[in-house]
């Protein structure tokens, strides 16, 4: 997508997929008056090593100022998240999450538990393997999805069912987003497996976390 936008001459993607700071639009959410759920850096990672601490601090300050929005920060950089967890002041309208695609990375949830965020969430998308070692304590929300695109690997329905069961047992909201390209092809879908009409009834779970009082 970044290369496509670069080829189209989009000035924000002049550097392609290279990390680029756009400080001139950092305060843009302050101009959006309608309350919105904003996924931060959908094409990047706010905690990338090339993003300075000062920029992250300023971004969180803007989120605090724009208190009528809900911001979702998702990262794979669990080590940096752990380091910043006590130095940043996390506003209640900022949800913080980590990506966990296999049991190898369940330790990212330990770093997440250190963040004093109102909502801590896990993005198990793409879910490439079962997660038997995943500790859901302190987690508010789990998003589950299969892999999409060329060369996508399959997601087993049994892995999804296991997460749904464990989330419900521990009072964690769970959102099954899509089943992935392999599922879609096997069930006559043209999308990436997001048509719930093709799913078994017990997989049609789309819950949102309750905001703490």
Q: Which residue has the tokens 């749904």?
A: 164
The residues, any chain, with a CB within 8 Å of residue 181's CB and separated by 6 or more, are 146, 147, 148, 149, 152, 192, 193
The average pLDDT across 45-60 equals 96
Q: What was the pLDDT predicted at 192?
A: 83
CB atoms within 10 A of CB 158: 9
The average pLDDT across 65-71 equals 97
Q: Quote the percentage of the chain above a pLDDT of 70.
A: 99
Q: Quote the percentage of the chain above a pLDDT of 90.
A: 81
| pLDDT band at residue 212 using 50, 70 and 90 as cut-offs | low
- 3-class DSSP assignment, residue 55: helix
pTM score over 0.75: yes
Q: Is the pLDDT at 213 greater than 70, yes or no?
A: no
| pLDDT band at residue 181 using 50, 70 and 90 as cut-offs | very high
The average pLDDT across 179-184 equals 93
Residue 168 sits at the vertex; the CA angle it makes with 99 and 191, to the nearest 5 degrees, is 55
Q: Which residue has the higher pLDDT, 137 or 89?
A: 137
Q: Which residue has the tokens 């904003």?
A: 38
Q: Which residue has the higher pLDDT, 102 or 16?
A: 102
DSSP states of 63-74 as a string?
A: HHH-TTSEEEEE
The average pLDDT across 121-148 equals 97
If you count DSSP H runs as helices and E runs as strands, how many of each does the chain have, helices first? Answer: 6, 6
Residue 173 sits at the vertex; the CA angle it makes with 170 and 178, to the nearest 5 degrees, is 125
């Amino acid at each position: 997508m970044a290369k496509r936008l670069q080829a189209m001459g989009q000035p924000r993607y002049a550097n392609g997929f290279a990390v680029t700071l756009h400080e001139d639009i950092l305060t843009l959410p302050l101009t959006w008056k309608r309350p919105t759920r904003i996924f931060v850096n959908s094409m990047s990672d706010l905690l990338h090593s090339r993003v300075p601490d000062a920029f992250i601090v300023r971004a969180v300050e803007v989120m605090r100022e724009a208190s009528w929005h809900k911001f979702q920060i998702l990262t794979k950089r669990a080590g940096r998240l752990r380091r910043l967890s006590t130095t940043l002041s996390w506003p209640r309208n900022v949800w913080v999450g980590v990506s966990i695609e296999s049991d190898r990375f369940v330790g990212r949830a330990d770093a997440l538990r250190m963040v004093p965020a109102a909502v801590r969430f896990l993005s198990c998308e793409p879910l490439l393997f079962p997660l038997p070692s995943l500790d859901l304590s302190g987690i508010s929300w789990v998003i589950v999805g299969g892999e999409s695109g060329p060369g996508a690997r399959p997601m087993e329905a049994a892995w999804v069912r296991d997460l749904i069961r464990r989330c419900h047992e521990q009072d964690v909201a769970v959102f099954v987003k899509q089943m992935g390209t392999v599922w879609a092809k096997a069930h006559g879908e043209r999308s990436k497996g997001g048509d719930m009409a093709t799913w078994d009834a017990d997989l049609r779970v789309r819950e949102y976390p309750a905001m703490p009082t």
